[in-house]
Structure 1
């Protein structure tokens, strides 16, 4: 069976919407890196990812899917968070784990986004 990056991105968003930090962490490779364009942060390591997602899920929860598109080596997904549409580019390793995540608002107002 081949890996489906689009389905993995939907699973990622579902875990975000459910507030399931453990499910989210399980989706990331051990050496994954998250780059948050809103706060201009780069996060790596399990402890860093756990702290990042705990804050994001509490402060800026995702509500609904806006768009989903394949991207070279991954998936581009956008979702609603508050009054903002957030875009996230997920790339995956050979095992189907998230290797990198780059996110930010579709608009420049980061006050209520990603």
Structure 2
């Protein structure tokens, strides 16, 4: 068991996203962290500089649309988070951690969307 609050770190991650605070967001990651984004075509980003480029191009628009916490739970290898953007687009992310309490791995993919949020229905 770790002696740091993994769920708290993910809440800090979500708070940094909500504020559009790129520096605080990147500071939560290890230097060699990876992010596998499966939203659209799958792409793997490695290291803080690639994560900074990934989030730097997205964070402003996404934070102004609004990040919402939908579900958060412990998982065998870290924490599972489901969040929404603009109250409707749902994303499922999983986080793994280093022994010193930094995010070492993130995977994100579209979550099952709530049919009640479907504007085309």
Same fold (TM over 0.5): yes
**C-alpha root-mean-square deviation of aligned residues, in Å?**
1.7
SS in 2 for 1:10: helix
For structure 2, list consecutive stretches of 5 or more residues without a partner in the other structure: 114-121
C-alpha spacing 1:28/1:64, structure 2 compared with 1 (3 Å): same
Question: What pairs with 1:1-114 in structure 2 (closer than 5 Å)?
Answer: 2-38=3-39, 39-61=41-63, 62-82=66-86, 83-107=88-112
SS in 1 for 2:58: helix
For structure 1, list consecutive stretches of 5 or more residues without a partner in the other structure: 109-114
- With the length of structure 1 as denominator, give the TM-score of the two structures: 0.87
Equivalent-residue separation in structure 2 for 1:68 and 1:56 (angstroms):
22
SS in 1 for 2:72: strand
What count of residue pairs does the alignment treat as equivalent? 108
Equivalent-residue separation in structure 2 for 1:56 and 1:75 (angstroms):
22
Equivalent-residue separation in structure 1 for 2:34 and 2:11 (angstroms):
19
* Structure 1 segments of 4+ aligned residues over 4 angstroms from their partners: none
